[in-house]
Chain A
Amino acid sequence: MIALALRNLWRNQRRSSTTLLAMMIGMLSILLFGGYSRTVYYGLETDFVGRSGHLQLQRKDYFWFGSGDPQGYSLHGYKQLVNDIQQDPVLAPLLRVVTPVLQFGGIAGNFDAGLSKLVIVQGVDVTAQNEMRRWNDYQLAITPELHSMNPAAGNEAEIGIGVARMLQLCAQLDVPDCPQPQLSAIDPNTQTLAADIAALAAGQLPSEPATPAKSGAQLELLAASTGGAPNVNRLQINRAVTTGAKELDEVYLAMQLAQAQQLLYGESEERVTALQIQLYHSADLEVARTRLQELISNRWPEQPLEVHDFRTLNPAFGQITGMFAAIFGFITILISAIVLFTVGNTMSMAVLERTVEIGTLRTLGLRRSGIRRLFISEGLLLGLTGALLGTALALLFAALINQAGFTWLPPGNSNPVPITIRLWGEHQMLLGIGLTVVLVATVSAWWPARRAAQQDVVDALRYV
């Protein structure tokens, strides 16, 4: 039956080739977009996981209310928590990095210029954060953007380019394309304020060794300490970075964890707002989450904790990947419809041309179901051939595009990423799309096959 179907397809080579070409182009379109979507998906995941880990352990409800009260929603005894996680027999083999982070709001001031700006401060362990940013489980052709702060120099920090622009630090930080305000908005009283803040900063940092003269800029960071009293810290800004979002660039400030803790808690107990947990592989995320929830219930009952994954912490991830999935689905439906009608038309023509042959086969003793199977087999073979050739063509095009070295800046990213079509190794997607095309081709042959099988034998034999 299959051999006969294959020969029948080969009979009208031009028509079969045209149908196959249509299917191959359809497959090519779906797979190239699918491969590109995979790259975007993995790129975003790599970016988000590199910046915030796979999972974060937070005090309960910090996710909803913590930014308004970082001290109230902070983690106590976080070093013990880190130790427990690292020593846990279930989690330990899965873990790549566990690092604390302290996030709070403050006022960054370039008081020499009489300027200040509300910022969201990230107190981080620079070494651990840089290690997190090197995570590249999907072997993407990207260079991670690492923190420039020297862990040994406690007062080094980074700001967003929006903060640099507003505090007029662009020149010192070599920020390109940084507009300058046309009108000076400096209040004549700010000089007094600057002096006050400078005195406070000097008073709070008696033990801070003198920072050697270097390139960059300085600013004062003002924050409310545990008791509610203002505290200030003078920071050496290494560089201005972009987070990929203007709104974030205008509030971003990263500094070293120890310095941030001193600013917020002084000599009292050191706390953090979250523990960032990065795994070797995203596939282990659910195992790790389950284990952490067990630990929360059984081992750390003294403080209410909860765990969130990077998808929850970064809603943009779901939105962007959801958008790509929707477009992918739309393209797949569109191409499937084209394949459906192309193969259906080809099979209808075949039934018409082979009417007498259908009558002959029925006369010889082939059942109606046999006729149906014959034409459905031809649709199936068309689908299989189209899927195989389409996949091969898509792999070839993907390789060519990947070699071309195009780049783009995805939403939420700070660095351009190469335009790559990730198909090789994506067995599930290749198989899924291939089977879809085969199924659609088979289904589209069903109606003509049914029509062929229902023909009256005598009428079929008389057909001219």
Chain B
Amino acid sequence: MSLAQLHHLSKTYALGQLRVPALTNISLQLKPACFTVLSGPSGSGKTTLLNLIAGIDRPDQGNIEIAGQSLQRLSDNALTDFRARHIGYIFQNFNLLPVLSAYENIEYPLRLNKTPPVKRRQRVLELLDAVGLADKASHRPNQLSGGQRQRVAIARALVHQPVLVLADEPTANLDSQTGAQIIALMRELQRVQQTAFVFSSHDPQVIASADHLVLLKDGHLLTPEPIREAV
């Protein structure tokens, strides 16, 4: 049983007069509760594929189905609501809202989902504790280190219990030691919460921790199926 199915996805970007194919005929199945890494050199289409799965971009051709829901058929509002409910996203640059505290940043997706305040508070405190930032709840992002910011971003991506968490090069802006800690944390949270994680990364540490590895090159899938299955 697959969590997400990607059927014959193609995406082309216009670069001035030039049309650059970013993805060509990608078909893939993502399994639930697995750590999947999309890897490949720069320009291989990792981030584009991640954006399509996240529903923040639409393919020119093909279809994506996540948890039984075809994204193609959704209106912009419906797709946005789908993201709010079912998708978590971890950015390379953390992308925390600078005017909100760590607590408020983590709480934000719950507010979007109109979660009741009591439940919201309980869940945020739980996640703050899980990422080891219980004592930093009131800190603004500019008062946190890179690793701490990424922990907040991870907590924000998981707080509403999405079926799928997407992470775009989550360790790219961290030193190797912090990167390793972040990977370990995500692995642990993924195990506890039984959520599927999909990364785009060429960080060997991330690749090493993958259940499934998907290789991309010049917008093409190098292997028709993930080259390594979970142990």
Contact = CB atoms under 8 A, between A and B. Distances in A.
Interface of A: 4, 7-8, 10-11, 356-357, 359-369, 457-458, 461
Interface string B169-186: 000000000000000000
A190 B42 CA distance: 117
Interface in B79-110: 80-81, 83-85, 87, 89, 91, 93, 95, 97-100, 108-109
B112 interface: yes
A363 B166 CA distance: 11
Contacts of B99: 4, 7-8, 10-11
A464 to B, nearest CB: 11
Given A8-B99, A364-B112, A366-B112, A458 B83 contact: no
Given A4-B97, A363-B91, 13 more contacts: A10-B99, A356-B93, A357-B98, A360-B95, A364-B156, A365-B81, A365-B112, A366-B84, A366-B112, A367-B80, A368-B77, A458-B57, A461-B95
B161 interface: no
A356 B156 CA distance: 17
A300 B84 CA distance: 79
A359 B54 CA distance: 13
B126 interface: no
Contacts of A458: 51, 56-57
A367 B85 CA distance: 13
A458 B54 CA distance: 11
Interface string B119-133: 000000000000000
B89 A363 contact: yes
A363 B97 contact: no
A367 to B, nearest CB: 5
Given A11-B99, A458-B56, A363 B77 contact: no
B84 A368 contact: no
Given A360-B95, A362-B56, A457-B56, A7 B100 contact: yes
A119 to B, nearest CB: 77
Bin chain B's interface residue count. Answer: 20 to 34
Interface of B: 51, 54, 56-57, 76-77, 80-81, 83-85, 87, 89, 91, 93, 95, 97-100, 108-109, 112-113, 156
B103 to A, nearest CB: 13
B91 A364 contact: no
A314 B57 CA distance: 71
A406 B91 CA distance: 65
Of B100, B112, B113, most A-chain CB atoms within 10 Å: B112
Contact of B85 (A7, A10, A365, A457): A365
Chain A contact residues: helix, strand, loop or mixed: helix
A412 B54 CA distance: 75
A10 B54 CA distance: 32
A55 to B, nearest CB: 61
A200 to B, nearest CB: 94
29 contacts: A4-B99, A4-B100, A7-B99, A8-B99, A11-B99, A356-B95, A357-B95, A360-B95, A360-B97, A363-B56, A363-B83, A363-B89, A363-B91, A363-B95, A364-B83, A364-B89, A364-B108, A364-B109, A364-B112, A364-B156, A365-B83, A365-B85, A365-B113, A366-B84, A366-B112, A367-B76, A367-B77, A368-B80, A461-B56
Given A457-B57, A458-B57, A364 B84 contact: yes
B212 to A, nearest CB: 23
A368 B80 CA distance: 9
B83 A11 contact: no
Contacts of A461: 56, 91, 95
B163 to A, nearest CB: 14
Contact of A360 (B57, B91, B113): B91
Contacts of A363: 54, 56, 83, 89, 91, 95
Contacts of B108: 364
A11 B140 CA distance: 12
Contacts of A364: 83-84, 89, 108-109, 112, 156
